[in-house]
Amino acid sequence: MFTELLAKSGVDTSVAETIREHTAKLLDRHSKFQEIYPHALSKEDWALLAEAAEYHDVGKANTKFQNKLRKIENKQLDVLEGIEEVPHAYLSCAYMPLKELLKRYGKEQVRILMLAVYYHHERSEERLEDCKKVIEQDLINYVSALADEGFHVNEIPKHNFGKFTDKEFLRVRENLYHFVRIKGLLNKLDYAASGHLDVEIAPGDVLGIVDQYFKSLGYRKNDLQEYLSQYQNDNHVVIASTGIGKTEGALYWLGQDKGIFTLPLKVSINAIYDRIHKDFGYEKVGLLHSDMRSEYAKRAGDQDLDLFAINHTKQLAQPLTITTIDQVIDFVGLYPGFELKLAIFSYSKFIIDEIQMYSPRLVAFILMGLKYITDMGGKFLIMTATLPPLFIEAMHKLKIPFKQPDNPFLKLNEYGKVMNRHVLRIKERDLTVEEVIAHSLNQKVLIIVNTVKKAQELYDAFIEADCEVNLLHSRFIKNDRYEKEESIKKLGKRDCDETGIWITTQLVEASVDIDFDILFTELSEATGLFQRMGRVYRGRDYKGTTPNVYVFTGHELPSGVSESDKRSVVDDTIYQKSREVLLQYNNQLLEEKTKMDIINQIYSREVLGNNCSYLREFDVTLTQLENVLPYEEKEKPTLRDIENQTIIPFAVYQEKKDEIQKIQERLKEKPSLKQRIKLLNQLQEYTISIPKWAYKMAEKEFKYDAITIDKYTNYPIIAFRYTKEKGLIYEIEEGANFL
């Protein structure tokens, strides 16, 4: 039998790793983890997690596994050759000294420990007879070798642990939560050790960094920031004006704890990441979304790509992670493997910015997630300019604990008075170029419409009217979109004296720090409107009486709103209620408190009624999630409202053909991982994501070719029109009005 017991092969890597060496790496990370976040677990659970780390891989001491890691000439005779390999996690339990563990911890704790080891990898169903044969006939040969490595194991491996690994025990919610902590954090230690990563990175002096940033600008904490700094140990729902400094407030609330900061749009996530990383100078922050590698590559420029930051961000090891909600909230599905994320969130603070911008299904996931997180000991902060009361109602129903101040936090001017920023005019007709050019264009003009198609039509109309105009929406290749995002942010800076006109979609609705002078917008619904208004007179008093916000409700309906189409931008009931209530404030100064009162008038269960599809989807999803049993679902839930396909427009391919082919050739040369990531990111600069339904409709008639990198990476070339000025122009009509 083997005397050197391997955990990892040396065939594919430079150095083989023994079971003891690998275990020592887990235990070392366990100690450092406990130093950084000592309150993540109780004293007893820290000990239990160390036991799980100690025993999780001893089951690799079996002939089949050891043979698998060695070259043919080094393999040994397998007396059980006719039996398929039994997963090592199952065998690890056979080596564990059950009687001694029971004396040390008690029955309930040992059940949790055994379950964590037994299921630390999700495997196929147990083959009990095969497992028994391997334990009785093979494991006995490795006891002395394990003892020599310093493992305290059974002298005779036992298969009588079945009652300790029955998942029925986890039907009790307290037991499930306890299991999640130990199993999830065992996975975290294991992945970090295997990937040669830190399990957690110490946060450093976050508060000192924010204080220093304030001092350098001559700022003092406002009421919101004082409040969140004072009540760091509570959960909060905070309603506050746009531009009031919610990001800084969130960092004060975060303090020295681990943070997960979620926002609805990638452009706003990138902007917040850059503010914290560059402006504040806090470097221990990660950027996590579907384009994260591309964003890291952009920021690296000619420098080497920071794989340290990327890999630690992916493992949620950074003290602060800025992310999209779909990357983190899927644990609510309780699918096999969900434990890692929930275990991390059990000692983290979860920040949710602008919750009202999510679909009803996603809001249901978020609220159910907050239920699990708070049950496990984690904290949350919801901060938003507008909060539908039906969300608060649902949180009370779920018994989620939180504080909510009686009054919203409103942005004050230099005299300590509440800022008045918006005078509203509603026009019950379509938004046209004529409506805009009737006003002075010698200022910063922002136009926000509901669909890309409407934005492109307006752009054409402005060009025909001989007006210089810029366009930003989701249907530009990444390279062009990045340039446009940087350009609108530059014009939108308060100290920028330039003027210009920008036509956009909802891309700029949330947490993008731009400040324009006048807004022309289609109505979607009230929360979306107030988000859009937050991009105009963001931090300034408006002293005029002429409207600086013009809202167009359409002759019948504005673009993207339909009474029945499932791809409608917003639920028709919510649109109609918003229109009805907002008309009462036509031609008026809209005070900040009034905006919040309007939300309460619209987004209640009584007002929306039973025919509201938004409310139905919210209720159905929340009920489904409340009734989900652990491990009932086998796959992660799909959280994106629209499934996308990444394509290259034919016009872009023609223009960049040489560059694309050079990238393909260099990728065939099997470059280093860093170089491969950079090359793939260069290629992705020429791509756009479009809805799967649009791709399927275009596939037969408009597909020209495809760029194939490997079996996982394929970019169809689609012969839709594309220009740098207008973006991708659909050649199909169905649904185009709604996206």
pLDDT in tens, 80-109: 988 999 999 999 999 999 999 999 999 999
Whole-angstrom Cα distance, residue 645 to residue 695? 7
206-397: which CATH architecture? 3-Layer(aba) Sandwich (3.40)
Higher per-residue pLDDT: 242 or 256 = 256
Phi, psi of 122 (to 5 degrees): -80, 120
pLDDT digit string (tens) for 18-76? 999 999 999 999 999 999 999 999 999 999 999 999 999 999 999 999 999 998 888 99
pLDDT digit string (tens) for 696-733? 888 878 888 889 888 778 899 999 899 999 999 987 65
Whole-angstrom Cα distance, residue 685 to residue 294? 8
What tokens does 211 get? Answer: 């204080």
Residues whose CB falls within 8 Å of the CB of residue 218, separated by 6 or more in sequence, listed in order? none
Q: Which amino acid is at 405?
A: P
pLDDT digit string (tens) for 517-555? 999 999 999 999 999 999 999 889 999 999 999 999 998
Residues whose CB falls within 8 Å of the CB of residue 466, separated by 6 or more in sequence, listed in order? none
Please determine whether the domains at 206-397 and 423-590 fall in the same fold group of CATH. yes
Whole-angstrom Cα distance, residue 693 to residue 698? 9
pLDDT digit string (tens) for 310-327? 999 999 999 999 999 999
Report which of 695, 632, 557, 656 is spatially closest to residue 336, judged by C-alpha positions. Answer: 632
Q: DSSP strand E in 465-603: where?
A: 470-472, 500-504, 518-522, 549-552, 588-589
pLDDT at residue 13, rounded to an integer:
52
Say whether pLDDT at 133 is over 80: yes
Average pLDDT over residues 232-239: 97
Percentage of the chain lying above the pLDDT 70 cut: 97
Say whether pLDDT at 250 is over 80: yes
What tokens does 574 get? Answer: 């919510």
Q: Which residues pair with 471 in a beta bridge?
A: 503
* pTM score of the predicted model: 0.94
Phi, psi of 608 (to 5 degrees): -70, -35
Phi, psi of 449 (to 5 degrees): -120, 170
Written as one string, the DSSP assignment of 613-658 is: HHHHHHHHHHHHHHTPPTT-S-SPPP--SS-EEEEEEHHHHHHTHH
The topology (CATH level 3) of 423-590 is Rossmann fold (3.40.50)
Say whether pLDDT at 447 is over 80: yes
Q: DSSP strand E in 281-389: where?
A: 285-288, 320-323, 348-353, 379-384
pLDDT at residue 532, rounded to an integer:
94
pLDDT at residue 512, rounded to an integer:
74
pLDDT digit string (tens) for 605-624? 999 998 899 999 999 999 99
pLDDT at residue 657, rounded to an integer:
93
Phi, psi of 626 (to 5 degrees): -65, -30
Instruction: Kindly provide the b/e burial profile for residues 474-493, where b requires at least 16 CB atoms within 10 angstroms of the residue's own CB.
Output: bbbbbbbbbebbeebbebbe
Q: Where are the alpha helices (DSSP H) in 378-494?
A: 389-397, 433-437, 452-464, 478-491
Inter-residue contact 301 to 544 (CB < 8 Å):
no
Whole-angstrom Cα distance, residue 514 to residue 297? 25
Q: Give kind and range of the element (H or E) at residue 706.
A: strand 703-710
Say whether pLDDT at 12 is over 60: no
Percentage of the chain lying above the pLDDT 90 cut: 77
pLDDT at residue 736, rounded to an integer:
47
Report which of 345, 50, 18 is spatially closest to residue 189, judged by C-alpha positions. Answer: 50
Whole-angstrom Cα distance, residue 211 to residue 248? 10
Domain residue spans of the chain: 6-194, 206-397, 423-590, 644-738
Inter-residue contact 560 to 552 (CB < 8 Å):
no
Per-chain mean pLDDT for the chain: 92
Q: DSSP strand E in 271-384: where?
A: 285-288, 320-323, 348-353, 379-384
Kindly calculate the radius of gyration of the chain based on its CA atoms and give it in whole angstroms.
29
Task: Work out the pLDDT band at 427, boundaries 50, 70, 90.
Answer: very high
Whole-angstrom Cα distance, residue 705 to residue 719? 9
**CA dist 725 → 115, 312, 455, 608, 721 (Å):** 58, 38, 12, 40, 12
Whole-angstrom Cα distance, residue 289 to residue 142? 45
pLDDT at residue 591, rounded to an integer:
93
Pairs from 23-31 (Cβ < 8 Å, separation ≥ 24): 23/53, 23/54, 23/56, 23/57, 23/151, 25/193, 26/53, 26/56, 26/189, 26/190, 26/193, 27/53, 27/54, 29/189, 29/192, 29/193, 29/198, 29/199, 30/189, 30/199
pLDDT digit string (tens) for 339-397? 999 999 999 999 999 999 999 999 999 999 999 999 999 999 999 999 999 999 999 99
pLDDT at residue 125, rounded to an integer:
67
6-194: which CATH architecture? Orthogonal Bundle (1.10)
Say whether pLDDT at 508 is over 90: no
With 0-12 CB in 10 A as exposed, 13-18 as middle and 19+ as buried, what is 643? Answer: exposed
Report which of 358, 640, 353 is spatially closest to residue 511, judged by C-alpha positions. Answer: 353
Task: Work out the pLDDT band at 486, boundaries 50, 70, 90.
Answer: very high
Say whether pLDDT at 734 is over 60: no
Whole-angstrom Cα distance, residue 296 to residue 287? 8
| SS3 (DSSP) at 89 | helix
pLDDT at residue 739, rounded to an integer:
47
